[in-house]
C-alpha cells in the first residue's frame, strides 16, 4: 500500500515524563513537509544519552517525547525539494545534522551544525511543529531524530544515504555510539602510533574509543571501569591493561601516573561524571597530555580544577559525535565497516523485539549490555 502523503499509524515508545518507563503506544506520523523525509526505522540501539532523559538528567527536555537517536532504516517518502535521498534508500538518521549552510557547517574545524537540538531540546521540526501525535497530544522529537518508533520524520539535514548492501542491524551503531567513541580517538584526540591512552568507562562509547586507539596504533590502552565485568570485552577489543578504581586505595590518577611514568598521552572520559573528568585530566602528562570529554554530564553540573593543570601545557577538549561532520563522514564509516577496517559485533551485545524496550533500558542500567539493538 502506498503511504506517500498520508498519515501513518504505527507503534512508538512514548516517554510521557521523566522517571517513568517508556510506553508502547499507537501514534500518528504526519507526512514529511518540504525538505523533510519520513523513514521506516528497522533497527535502533539504546544509548546512555536516551537514558539520561528518562533519569531526568537532561533538564530542559520537552515532554512527551519519543527518544532514540542511534538507528538505521529505509526512506518511506520525501517532502518537496528533497534531493539527497529517495524512497527505498537505506539511511542513517543523524542526531547531529549537517545543513551545509550555517556558520558551523562552513567552518572547516566545526561539526556542531546550528540545526542541532543538543543542549536546546526544543523537540520540534524547523517550522516549530511536530510530526507526531498520540491520543490527541503533540509528541516532541529528540535531538532531531526520534528512532524508538516504526516511522519517524526528520529534516533532510538529519539523514544520509548509506551503501545499498549495508547490514542495517549492525550499522545502526554508527548512528551514535561507534562513531562517537571511534572519532574521539582518531579524529578529536588524533591518537598517534606508539602512544599511551587511558579510557574511563567501558560502555558502548568507551569500547569504541578503544577500537579507535587500536586502529591508530596506540601501544598501551588502559581501560578503567568500576564494573570489572566490562574488562573481558575491553581486552578483546584492544585494551592492554584493565583497572578497577575500587581495587586501589590511592586515587585513580595517581595509579595511572605511576603506571605510565608520568601520565598518559591521551585520556578519555566516557561516563558523564564530572569527578572522573578531572581524574582523566590529572592522569595525563602535565605538558604533553590531551584529555577528551565524551560523556554527557547532567545539565547544570560543574567541573572544578586548579588552572595550573592546564597552564602547564595539558589540552582539554570535547566533541559531539566524535568530531565528525555527519553527512560527510557517516557513509564512509559504513563502507569502512563493510570492508573490514573495524568490526562492531562485540558492541552489539543484545537484540530485542521493539516491544521489550524497557528491558533493554534495564540491561543498560544494570551494566549487563553494551548496546541492545531493537528490531520491529
Count the residues in the chain.
376
Residue 31 C-alpha cell reads as 507526512
Q: Which of the residues 232 through 271 are near ligand PAD (CB under 6 A)?
A: 245, 270-271
Using Cβ positions, the residue closest to ligand PAD within the complex turns out to be: 203
Residue 24 C-alpha cell reads as 508502547
Residue 55 C-alpha cell reads as 533519569
69 catalytic? Reply is yes
99's contact among Zn ion, ligand PAD, none, with CB below 5 to 8 A by partner kind, is Zn ion
Each residue 41-80 as x (binds Zn ion by CB under 5 A) or -, in order, gives: ------x-x-------------------------------
Q: Output Rg (C-alpha) for the chain, integer angstroms.
A: 20
Q: Which of 176, 213, 242, 270 is catalytic?
A: 176
Residue 236 C-alpha cell reads as 578483546
Residue 259 C-alpha cell reads as 603506571
Q: Does 198 bind ligand PAD (CB under 6 A)?
A: no
Comparison of 82 and 255: residue with beta carbon closer to Zn ion: 82
The count of C-alpha atoms lying within 13 angstroms of the C-alpha of 43, restricted to the half-sphere facing its C-beta, is: 21
**Bridge pairing between strands 196-200 and 266-269:** parallel
Q: Which of the residues 86 through 145 are near Zn ion (CB under 5 A)?
A: 99, 102, 105, 113
Comparison of 8 and 334: residue with beta carbon closer to ligand PAD: 334
Closest CB 201 distance from ligand PAD, rounded Å:
3
Q: Does 174 bind Zn ion (CB under 5 A)?
A: no
**Residue ranges of E strands in 15-82:** 23-29, 36-45, 70-78
The CA–CA distances, whole Å, from 352 to 13, 25, 96 equal 14, 18, 26
**Active-site amino acid positions:** 47, 49, 52, 69, 176
Note the residues at the interface with ligand PAD (CB under 6 A): 47-49, 52, 176-177, 180, 200-206, 224-227, 230, 245, 270-273, 276, 294-296, 320-321, 364, 367
Amino acid at each position: 500500500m502506498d503511504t506517500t502523503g498520508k498519515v501513518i499509524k504505527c507503534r512508538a515508545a512514548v516517554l510521557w515524563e521523566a522517571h517513568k518507563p517508556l510506553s508502547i503506544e499507537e501514534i500518528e506520523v504526519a507526512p514529511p513537509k518540504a525538505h523533510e523525509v519520513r523513514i521506516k526505522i528497522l533497527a535502533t540501539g539504546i544509548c546512555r544519552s536516551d537514558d539520561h532523559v528518562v533519569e531526568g538528567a537532561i533538564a530542559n527536555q520537552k515532554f512527551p517525547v519519543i527518544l532514540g537517536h542511534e538507528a538505521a532504516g529505509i526512506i518511506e517518502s520525501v517532502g518537496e525539494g528533497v534531493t539527497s535521498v529517495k524512497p527505498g534508500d537505506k539511511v542513517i538518521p543523524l542526531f547531529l545534522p549537517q545543513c551545509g549552510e550555517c556558520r558551523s557547517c562552513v567552518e572547516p574545524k566545526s561539526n556542531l551544525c546550528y540545526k542541532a537540538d543538543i543542549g536546546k531540546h526544543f523537540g520540534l521540526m524547523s517550522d516549530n511543529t511536530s510530526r507526531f501525535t498520540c491520543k490527541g497530544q503533540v509528541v516532541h522529537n529528540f535531538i532531531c531524530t526520534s528512532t524508538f518508533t516504526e516511522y519517524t520524520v526528520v529534516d533532510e539535514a538529519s539523514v544520509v544515504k548509506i551503501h545499498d548492501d549495508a547490514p542495517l542491524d549492525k550499522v545502526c551503531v554508527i548512528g551514535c555510539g561507534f562513531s562517537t567513541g571511534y572519532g574521539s580517538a582518531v579524529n578529536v584526540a588524533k591518537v598517534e602510533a606508539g602512544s599511551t591512552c587511558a579510557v574511563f568507562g567501558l560502555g558502548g562509547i568507551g569500547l569504541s574509543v578503544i577500537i579507535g586507539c587500536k586502529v591508530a596504533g596506540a601501544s598501551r590502552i588502559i581501560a578503567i571501569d568500576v564494573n570489572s565485568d566490562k574488562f573481558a570485552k575491553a581486552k578483546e577489543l584492544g585494551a592492554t591493561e584493565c583497572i578497577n578504581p575500587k581495587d586501589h586505595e590511592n586515587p585513580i590518577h595517581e595509579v595511572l601516573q605511576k603506571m605510565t611514568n608520568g601520565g598518559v598521552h591521551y585520556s578519555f572520559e566516557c561516563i558523564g561524571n564530572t569527578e572522573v573528568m578531572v581524574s582523566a585530566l590529572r592522569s595525563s602528562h602535565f605538558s604533553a597530555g590531551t584529555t577528551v570529554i565524551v560523556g554527557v554530564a547532567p545539565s547544570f553540573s560543574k567541573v572544578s580544577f586548579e588552572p595550573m593543570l592546564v597552564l602547564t601545557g595539558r589540552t582539554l577538549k570535547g566533541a559531539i559525535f566524535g568530531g565528525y561532520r555527519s553527512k560527510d563522514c557517516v557513509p564512509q564509516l559504513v563502507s569502512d565497516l563493510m570492508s573490514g577496517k573495524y568490526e562492531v559485533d562485540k558492541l552489539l551485545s543484545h537484540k530485542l523485539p521493539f516491544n521489550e524496550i524497557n528491558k533493554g533500558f534495564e540491561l543498560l542500567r544494570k551494566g549487563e549490555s553494551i548496546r541492545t539493538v531493537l528490531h520491529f
